[in-house]
Amino acid sequence: MTAAPARKSRQGRRARLQAQSAAAPASPAGFTRGIPYYNFLDEQSLCRLEAQADWLLEEIGIRFQGDEQALQRWREAGADVQGDIVHLPTGLARHLCKTAPTEFTQLARNPERNVRLGGRHGVFAPAYGSPFVRCAEKGRRYGSLEDFHNFVKLTYLSPWLHHGGGVVCEPCDIPVNKRHLDMIYAHLRYSDKPFLGAITLKNRAEESIEMCRIAFGAEVMEHHCVVMGNVNTNSPLVVDKVASEAMAAYAAANQGMIIVPFILGGAMGPVTTAAGLAQSLAEAMTCVAYTQLVRPGAPAVLGSFLSSMSLKSGAPTFGMPEPVMSNYAYGQLARRLGVPTRFGGALTASKLPDAQAAYESADSLQSTMLGGANYILHSAGWLESGLVMGYEKFILDVDRLGYMQRILVGMASDDNALARDAYREVPVGKHFLGCGHTMANYKTAFYDAQLSNSESFEQWTEEGAEDAVVRANKKWRRMLADYVPPELDPGIDEALQEYIAKTKSSRADAWY
Amino acid sequence: MTAAPARKSRQGRRARLQAQSAAAPASPAGFTRGIPYYNFLDEQSLCRLEAQADWLLEEIGIRFQGDEQALQRWREAGADVQGDIVHLPTGLARHLCKTAPTEFTQLARNPERNVRLGGRHGVFAPAYGSPFVRCAEKGRRYGSLEDFHNFVKLTYLSPWLHHGGGVVCEPCDIPVNKRHLDMIYAHLRYSDKPFLGAITLKNRAEESIEMCRIAFGAEVMEHHCVVMGNVNTNSPLVVDKVASEAMAAYAAANQGMIIVPFILGGAMGPVTTAAGLAQSLAEAMTCVAYTQLVRPGAPAVLGSFLSSMSLKSGAPTFGMPEPVMSNYAYGQLARRLGVPTRFGGALTASKLPDAQAAYESADSLQSTMLGGANYILHSAGWLESGLVMGYEKFILDVDRLGYMQRILVGMASDDNALARDAYREVPVGKHFLGCGHTMANYKTAFYDAQLSNSESFEQWTEEGAEDAVVRANKKWRRMLADYVPPELDPGIDEALQEYIAKTKSSRADAWY
């Protein structure tokens, strides 16, 4: 452990926490939902899905592959472990989830950006994990550390993204076994929003947590969540050792764990939506339960990522009816379990930020809003089924996140909203443009979408007849040109760089 | 009246009604909702909005401009008429709406395409009223009768559009005082779906109805709705003579009337959303009530078209949070009134079928689905705030209407959907691609979006790297090339053409 840097951290924390960025807008630290959930499934259907999840866990079981410590924990918890397949008696997983917090706070480096997850509270975070990036000028190419920095900066500057996400793109120019260090550093250095750590190997998870100890102080982390991991199960019904060890590492450190079964219907689960949904509940609930075996009370998020399949190509499709319905229903299932949930995002199979991308992304995103997701990863930038992080797509998506958040606030119907004075002032048939009520309210009455052009055809033509992608391109270039990094305590910065240099020098480069 | 053609019509009707088109797919005759409504506002807010509508009608009143017959009808109904402003005592409008049917059927020329409106039943119809059209090759230009024919044909061929709409674009090459005849003829000749008639002058409304008498028979129309008009009020709180006479013409003939206040917040109503919503209810409810004064039991639809305003340009904006919230709420208000409702569509301010257009259209459309609209005009083709009907936009929208209708069916959670046999067949960790349950279900498991490309980047590149607009362009060209008109009884065709020739020759061309 790195006690000296942690001390430095404590000394600088107050100044650091009070520092305000000169560049990033005062964005809300997450959203708080003021509108009802969309309750898609009836009670009977929900009970059937829950019973199916129980049946799966008891009869079929779930494999914890190659992780003897996990199997031992399950034996001690009362599961019937046969080989590496864990059979959970009905109700055990649900019971163990009871110690997971219904809501929790993840601290940010800037306390004004601390976020609350669970219940009516949630966040939007950018897309995660693409090896490629795309922009209008250079097209599609492998992501680099420079691209990674750019997306961390753009996320920092975007008021409608509350969470930094994690692997905003793969920095493919950095060795695989070292890039997590550069990624965590970038989140800490170029942003002050909360973020996700590495999960791709046990030591990478631990090193992510260690870097957070340097930045936040070890004792803060004993009592607060400052970093989370986002882990996929290996559906159907398998949790591999990398995943279970990452869960154990984060939970043991009292840090958050988001567990997300990725189920492509017809491949990693049955082709019918209800089956995929119940399987997702079974897998994710078991993993949340597992974090509670490691450390009761550790924060955990119940995730789901269901995709439909193209009959033409067998490829996953996004923004389609079946996963959207799943999202509505998964929110209901998560609320009944009492654990924060993650699903959805601005998902698309399109290769370009075109109409296909926008239709699919919009329809996918709206189900997160109405279904009640708390942690919404892949909210901005996602293209090509997740293979590509798009610069222009990122900007366009963020604008619609503002739209979503306006709806999440809800609609006022108080006296000011009903505007009786306006009707008394304006004669029947006359317009309301200059009346007192309009003047008092117009600035806040409507969401001001930055990327939507509503000018006349003539004016738009005069200004260059730019489509949405051209406008988005200009916007991200301007944002990066104007970017000013948030302050970071020099002592912490030095300690982080020291830690990274030491850790990097301790191993040879690995490229796969 | 044209008794002779009506007789011809009766003779040929059975054969005609039994004739099946060789070209148009067997599309569902409307959708029947299997999923819950999204109940956005709570009881208290709904009561406040209803009380506000009552207050508006009693205290502020609504002008029936220049239509003495309408004012007389209101006097007789018990309203307090001061000049041309009608003040309705609280509850009167709502009470009069009780004779309007909660559900009704509009007959189509092909009885398999008859549609049900109200309750859980609804239809999607294309965009209405644009003077311009746009396609990828020719760009933006005034619409022509050829364009009108094209959009009627494309609508006929689109399985997810159940209703032909009306002015699918303005045929600007035909005199203003004659084009309604060509439009009604095109709906009857090139499609067999139900449609809307003219409302822009009293005689045009009457001539639309007369042409339907030729096609359907006068006595059928006494008992069935075969044509509807779609009329805007002149918000705020004005119904002009053209509108009230069109309402009277359709209602007197027992035909349907859709009444739609268009309220741009801050101009035709207060800038706050709740006020616009209550005003829309007040205006539309009054007009529905008016149709019932003309003929109790005449079908009527309570419409709403609320738009937000750009702070930059003062222009209307679409697909924005405020109108989307209005849609959710308007569905609730309409259900409480017990009248079918119209709102929404695939609306956008974008000049092109780009990402802006798709985001805004998707977000606008989904609120019609979840809010429970019955008649959804502007579902396909709308661009540039309604000034343009887009060929590619039309194709792209229709594909997402299929998406919507898949969701409206809902999600099965029966034994087949839960697929326990599949789990018994497939070992833990293995894929479900070839298992019996997948083979039995894969063909119907997922919506097959025709315009969404989900192929790999490599395959997509090899096939020309086409964006969504290029694919849509190919699709509508192919559809028109393959188009085969539905059968039309030659006697009716002849009678329609005779009626059109006679009517056209009775007046000089007018171009405005």
Backbone angles phi, psi at B33, to 5 degrees: -75, 125
* Cβ atoms of B496 and B109 closer than 8 Å: no
CA of B17 vs chain A CAs: smallest distance (Å): 34
CB contact under 8 A, B418 and A236: no
Chain B residue closest to A318 (CA)? Answer: B454
Instruction: Closest CB to A321: pick one of B273, B310, B406.
Output: B406
Instruction: Closest CB to A362: pick one of B42, B362, B431.
Output: B362
- The DSSP code sequence of B299-317 is -EEEEEEEEEE-TTT--EE
- CA torsion angle for B217, B222, B225, B226 (degrees, to 10)? 20
Q: What is the pLDDT of residue A24?
A: 58
CA of A428 vs chain B CAs: smallest distance (Å): 6
CA of B433 vs chain A CAs: smallest distance (Å): 5
CB contact under 8 A, B275 and A419: yes
Instruction: Closest CB to A468: pick one of B354, B426, B472.
Output: B354
* Cβ atoms of B97 and B349 closer than 8 Å: no
Chain B residue closest to A279 (CA)? Answer: B418
Instruction: Closest CB to B431: pick one of A268, A385, A472.
Output: A268
Using CB atoms within 10 Å of the CB of residue B3, give its burial: 0 to 12 exposed, 13 to 18 middle, 19+ buried.
exposed
pLDDT, mean over chain B:
94
Instruction: Closest CB to A428: pick one of B55, B237, B452.
Output: B237
What are the chain A neighbours of B267 within 8 Å (beta carbons)?
431-433
CA of A490 vs chain B CAs: smallest distance (Å): 42
At residue B6, the 3 state secondary structure works out as helix
Continuous segment of H or E residues that includes residue B196: strand B195-196
Instruction: Closest CB to A274: pick one of B309, B411, B437.
Output: B411
Q: Within 10 A of B256 (CB to CB), how many other CB atoms are there?
A: 27
CB contact under 8 A, A407 and B325: yes
Chain A residue closest to B238 (CA)? Answer: A429
Q: What is the pLDDT of residue B5?
A: 43
CA of A431 vs chain B CAs: smallest distance (Å): 5
Sheet strands side by side (includes B85-87): B80-82, B85-87, B62-65, B238-240
CB contact under 8 A, B419 and A456: no
CB contact under 8 A, B270 and A329: no
CB contact under 8 A, A459 and B313: yes
CB contact under 8 A, B311 and A446: yes
Query: Is residue B9 scored above 80 in pLDDT?
Result: no
Percent of chain B at pLDDT > 90 equals 93
Rounded CA separation A364/A355 (Å): 14
What are the chain B neighbours of A364 within 8 Å (beta carbons)?
none
What are the chain B neighbours of A472 within 8 Å (beta carbons)?
355
CB contact under 8 A, B417 and A329: no
Rounded CA separation A377/A163 (Å): 9
Instruction: Closest CB to A455: pick one of B234, B315, B362.
Output: B315
End-to-end Cα distance, chain B = 28
CB contact under 8 A, A438 and B370: no
CB contact under 8 A, B270 and A465: no
| Number of helices and strands in chain B (H, E) | 19, 20
Comparing B86-100, B302-316, B354-368, which segment has the lowest mean pLDDT? B302-316
For Cα atoms A439, A443, A447, give the angle at the middle one, nearest 5 degrees.
Answer: 140
- The DSSP code sequence of B179-240 is HHHHHHHHHHHH--S-EE---SSHHHHHHHHHHHHHHH-HHHHHHSB-EEEEEE--SSSEEE
Task: Tell me how many residue pairs between chain A and chain B have CB atoms under 8 A apart.
Answer: 404
> B438: Cβ–Cβ under 8 A, 6 or more apart, which residues?
A266, A270, A271, B422, B432
End-to-end Cα distance, chain A = 28
Instruction: Closest CB to B413: pick one of A45, A237, A453.
Output: A45
At residue A508, the 3 state secondary structure works out as coil
CA of A41 vs chain B CAs: smallest distance (Å): 8
Residue A262 β-bridge partners: A305
CB-side exposure of B297: number of CA atoms within 13 Å?
A: 6
Residue of A309, A462, A422, A21 whose CA lies nearest to B265: A422
CA of B282 vs chain A CAs: smallest distance (Å): 13
What are the chain B neighbours of A322 within 8 Å (beta carbons)?
406, 411, 445-447
Give the pLDDT confidence of B233-286 residue by residue, as tens digits. Answer: 999 999 999 999 999 999 999 999 999 999 999 999 999 999 999 999 999 999
Sign (positive or negative) of CA dihedral B30, B34, B35, B37: positive
Continuous segment of H or E residues that includes residue B62: strand B62-65
Q: Within 10 A of B18 (CB to CB), how many other CB atoms are there?
A: 11
Phi-psi region of A21 (alpha: psi -120 to 50; beta: other; left: phi over 0): beta
* Cβ atoms of A40 and B35 closer than 8 Å: yes
Structure tokens at B285: 């409810």
What are the chain A neighbours of B359 within 8 Å (beta carbons)?
358-359, 361-362, 396, 399-400, 452
Rounded CA separation B21/A287 (Å): 55
Q: What is the pLDDT of residue A28?
A: 64
Widest CA span in chain A: 81
Backbone angles phi, psi at B49, to 5 degrees: -65, -40
Mutation for testing the B interface, residue in A130, A411, A414, A457 having most B CBs under 10 Å: A411
CB contact under 8 A, B454 and A315: yes
Rounded CA separation B161/B177 (Å): 28
CB contact under 8 A, A454 and B40: no
Rounded CA separation B212/B233 (Å): 25
Residue of B74, B104, B106 whose CA lies nearest to B92: B74
At residue A323, the 3 state secondary structure works out as helix
Q: What is the pLDDT of residue A311?
A: 78
Block mean pLDDT (10 aa), chain A, length 512: 41 42 61 97 98 98 98 98 98 98 97 96 98 98 98 97 98 98 98 97 96 97 97 97 97 98 96 98 98 98 95 90 98 98 96 98 97 98 98 98 97 98 97 96 94 96 98 98 97 98 97 90
* Cβ atoms of B313 and A439 closer than 8 Å: no
Estimate the crossing angle of helix A355-371 against helix A391-409, to 10 degrees: 30
CA of A317 vs chain B CAs: smallest distance (Å): 6
Residue of B505, B512, B499 whose CA lies nearest to B210: B499
CB contact under 8 A, A275 and B419: yes
Rounded CA separation B172/B176 (Å): 8
CB contact under 8 A, B417 and A456: no
Alpha carbon separation from B69 to B57, B213, B229 (Å, rounded): 19, 25, 20
Alpha carbon separation from A473 to A191, A477, B508 (Å, rounded): 21, 6, 53
Instruction: Closest CB to A441: pick one of B272, B324, B407.
Output: B272
What are the chain A neighbours of B459 within 8 Å (beta carbons)?
313
Rounded CA separation B331/B339 (Å): 10
CB contact under 8 A, B275 and A468: no
Sign (positive or negative) of CA dihedral A198, A201, A204, A210: positive
Tokens 């709705």: give the residue: B225
The full set of domains in chain B, from first to last, is 95-409 (3.20.20.480)
Compute the average pLDDT of residues B161-181. Answer: 98
Q: What is the pLDDT of residue B25?
A: 58
Rounded CA separation A292/A303 (Å): 16
Mutation for testing the B interface, residue in A241, A272, A307, A391 having most B CBs under 10 Å: A272
CB contact under 8 A, A354 and B467: yes
Q: What is the pLDDT of residue A512?
A: 85
Rounded CA separation A219/A240 (Å): 31
Chain A residue closest to B273 (CA)? Answer: A417
Give the pLDDT confidence of B123-147 residue by residue, as tens digits. Answer: 999 999 999 999 999 999 999 999 9
CA of B268 vs chain A CAs: smallest distance (Å): 5
Alpha carbon separation from B462 to B358, B454, B466 (Å, rounded): 26, 14, 10
Answer with the residue of higher pLDDT: B15 or A206: A206
ipTM of the complex: 0.94
What are the chain A neighbours of B272 within 8 Å (beta carbons)?
412, 416-419, 437, 441, 445
Alpha carbon separation from B6 to B12, B213, B437 (Å, rounded): 10, 6, 55
Query: Is residue B41 scored above 90 in pLDDT?
Result: yes
Cis amide prior to A28 (ω within 30 degrees): no
Percent of chain B at pLDDT > 70 equals 95
Residue B238 β-bridge partners: B63
- Residue B344's pLDDT band (boundaries 50, 70, 90)? confident
Residue of B386, B370, B357, B274 whose CA lies nearest to B322: B274
Sign (positive or negative) of CA dihedral A363, A366, A371, A377: positive
Q: What is the pLDDT of residue A70?
A: 98
Mutation for testing the A interface, residue in B55, B82, B418, B455 having most A CBs under 10 Å: B418
